[in-house]
């Protein structure tokens, strides 16, 4: 039989069962299955399909249905277990409780835990064996006690009762005030009827004035409520000042426009220059300074408050500014009286060109920089000859530095150095006197004739460096190596020149090097330390000790002493 025939017979059987001509299908318990149940309900999913017809997947599984127990059985967070007196093996190293390790301990980490002090600080953990499913583990209300919500309800009820009581007291007070007002009005009316009053018109004006609306406010005298309007209806709205989207930003929530809507118009000429301009104009800056003064005074312990007592704060601020100016003037006068210089504070000694910095004189120049029309602007001059009037004109035309040579010299002082007298002089005449008169080639010949030929030859020889001169002194035996070592603070008389120590004993040098290396690593015995201290104090340090210290020092300073060379003696890459 083909699959199509099976499907056709199955469909005919289902239609017969729905019509009642065929018996209903039985489930695993022997109960008939309603043929009118939709397929998406009667068909079991793939993970619960047993291969038999039935509705077991739609029924509650009593084995896992413990919802009633889930509400009553949960972790008892307040329960405490047994607390031991001594540390036990397997317990937490920090607090000494059983049930967790030191890594999972939530107690304060101690420098010496329970395993060290043998003192247990916490009780053992109580492990609850509660079988929960996926939803129960992630239920945020699991373990919640509904009775705790009663306190929240009682708190809200108490607040509501207190609010109602205050409202009733306010209504009683208003009723009493209105009743008293009615009695007073009736008394006044009775007096008016008997004697009359000349102030009737004034009272009527005051009555209408109380009920009138103030500018910028909407006042309801009966309800005692004030609604603040941010602008008068007749004024132009701020967002209509400039309809360009790139103009100043308008905040509709606070109805504020801080920047100027017309940036190309002067603030004083504009109808509205932005709220920032209004905040910085008038007495706004003074109020800010007063507020700052009040804050600083309050911080120093004075009772100052702009809103609570503005008159006292303003008077104190004024007295503070006067006192501050007096102190500043006193300090200025004391400094001038001590050091002088008051004449430089007045602008009378300053040239007009520097004092003003600009003028309205019209000056016209050509493309080459020559004056065509007008008067040349005066240039400030200094006391030096190089800054004279002629030098100023030459510098302007030639754009070069003008140098003045006094005494008919053609070179400046310091352009030549005399080796014989170790002094600077003029290169034009070889004169070492600053105020001398230039003699030219004759001066050079006279300076050369004052020295002998031997001195000239000695002076013409190249000079040796300091290092070469020191080597010559060592070779000749005139170098003070020991004195230099003492000046440098070296207790061994350390020197960088091994030739100055003379002949050395190789065996003693080997022992000295070994002892010096052990001294560097603190491996000397007590006897050796005492012997070394005695040798230094008595001044019996040998040449081998000095050479050993030099060799060890060179070995330590060598950057390649720990590098291993290859067979050819080359550094590895």
Summarised one tens digit per residue, pLDDT across range 408-430 is: 888 888 888 887 777 889 988 88
SS3 state of residue 430:
coil
The winner for highest mean pLDDT among 18-32, 65-79, 272-286 is: 18-32
Residue in 135, 107, 133 with CA at minimum distance from that of residue 120 = 107
Q: Distances from the Cα of 193 to the Cαs of 117, 183, 203, in angstroms?
A: 101, 15, 15
The average confidence (pLDDT) of the chain is 76
Q: Check residues 230 and 28 and name the one with the higher pLDDT.
A: 28
506-520 vs 526-538: helix crossing angle, rounded to 10: 110
Of 161-175, 350-364, 486-500, least confident by mean pLDDT is 486-500
pLDDT at 525 over 50: yes
* Band of residue 195 on the pLDDT scale cut at 50, 70, 90: low
Q: Check residues 546 and 458 and name the one with the higher pLDDT.
A: 546
Q: Which residue has the tokens 């040098």?
A: 509
SS3 state of residue 452:
coil
* Band of residue 90 on the pLDDT scale cut at 50, 70, 90: very high
Q: Check residues 534 and 118 and name the one with the higher pLDDT.
A: 118
pLDDT at 491 over 50: no
Residue in 30, 40, 33 with CA at minimum distance from that of residue 13 = 33
Residue in 89, 93, 120 with CA at minimum distance from that of residue 104 = 93
SS3 string of 278-307?
HHHCCCHHHHHHHHHHHHHHHHCCCCCCCC
pTM for the full predicted model:
0.25
Give the whole-angstrom CA distance, residue 569 versus residue 548.
Answer: 26
Contact 427, 415 (CB under 8 A): yes
Q: How far apart are the first and last CA of the chain?
A: 84
* 407's tokens: 């005494």
* 219's tokens: 């006042």
Residue in 385, 383, 430, 391 with CA at minimum distance from that of residue 409 = 430
Residue in 473, 542, 556, 474 with CA at minimum distance from that of residue 508 = 542
With pLDDT > 90 as the criterion, what percentage of the chain qualifies? 15
The winner for highest mean pLDDT among 72-76, 155-159, 454-458 is: 155-159
Per-residue pLDDT, averaged over 14-25, amounts to 88
Instruction: Please give the pLDDT value at position 388.
Output: 60
């Amino acid at each position: 039989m083909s699959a199509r025939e099976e499907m056709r017979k199955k469909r005919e059987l289902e239609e017969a069962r729905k019509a009642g001509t065929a018996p209903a299908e039985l489930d695993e318990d022997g109960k008939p299955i309603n043929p009118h149940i939709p397929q998406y309900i009667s068909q079991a999913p793939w993970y619960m399909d047993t291969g038999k017809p039935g509705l077991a997947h739609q029924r509650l599984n009593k084995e896992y249905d413990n919802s009633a127990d889930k509400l009553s059985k949960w972790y008892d967070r307040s329960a405490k277990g047994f607390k031991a007196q001594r540390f036990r093996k397997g317990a937490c190293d920090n607090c000494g409780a059983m049930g967790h390790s030191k890594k999972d301990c939530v107690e304060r980490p101690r420098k010496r835990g329970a395993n060290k002090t043998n003192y247990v600080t916490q009780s053992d953990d109580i492990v609850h064996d509660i079988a929960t499913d996926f939803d129960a583990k992630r239920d945020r209300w699991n373990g919640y006690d509904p009775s705790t919500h009663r306190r929240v309800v009682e708190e809200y009820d108490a607040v509501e009762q207190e609010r109602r009581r205050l409202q009733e007291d306010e209504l009683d007070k208003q009723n009493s005030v209105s009743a008293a007002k009615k009695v007073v009005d009736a008394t006044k009316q009775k007096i008016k009827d008997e004697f009359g009053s000349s102030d009737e018109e004034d009272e009527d004006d005051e009555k209408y004035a109380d009920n009138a609306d103030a500018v910028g406010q909407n006042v309801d005298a009966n309800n005692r409520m004030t609604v603040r309007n941010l602008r008068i209806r007749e004024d132009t709205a701020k967002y209509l000042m400039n309809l360009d989207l790139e103009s100043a930003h308008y905040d509709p929530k606070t109805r504020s426009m801080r920047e100027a809507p017309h940036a190309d118009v002067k603030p004083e000429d504009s109808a509205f220059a932005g709220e920032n301009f209004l905040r910085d104009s008038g007495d706004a800056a003074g109020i800010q300074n007063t507020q700052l003064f009040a804050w600083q005074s309050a911080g120093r312990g004075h009772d100052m408050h702009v809103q609570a007592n503005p008159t006292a704060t303003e008077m104190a601020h004024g007295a503070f500014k006067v006192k501050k100016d007096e102190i500043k003037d006193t300090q200025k006068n004391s400094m001038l009286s001590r050091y002088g210089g008051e004449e430089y504070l007045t602008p009378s000694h300053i040239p007009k060109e520097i004092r003003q910095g600009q003028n309205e004189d019209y000056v016209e120049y050509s493309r080459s920089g020559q004056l065509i029309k007008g008067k040349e602007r005066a240039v400030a001059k200094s006391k030096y000859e190089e800054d004279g009037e002629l030098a100023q004109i030459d510098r302007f035309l030639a754009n070069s530095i003008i140098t003045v040579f006094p005494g008919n010299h053609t070179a400046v002082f310091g352009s030549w150095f005399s080796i014989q007298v170790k002094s600077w002089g003029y290169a034009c005449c070889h004169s070492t006197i600053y105020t001398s008169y230039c003699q030219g080639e004759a001066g050079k010949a006279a300076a050369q004739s004052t020295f002998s030929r031997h001195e000239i030859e000695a002076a013409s020889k190249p000079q040796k460096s300091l290092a070469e001169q020191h080597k010559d002194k060592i070779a000749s035996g005139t170098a003070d190596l020991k004195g230099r070592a003492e000046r440098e603070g070296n207790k061994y008389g350390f020197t960088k020149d091994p030739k100055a120590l003379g002949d050395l004993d190789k065996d003693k040098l080997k022992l000295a090097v070994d002892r010096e290396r052990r001294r560097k690593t603190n491996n000397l015995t007590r006897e050796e330390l005492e012997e070394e201290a005695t040798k230094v104090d008595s001044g019996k340090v040998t040449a081998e000790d000095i050479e050993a210290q030099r060799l060890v020092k060179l070995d330590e300073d060598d950057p390649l002493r720990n590098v291993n060379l290859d067979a050819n003696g080359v550094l590895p890459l």
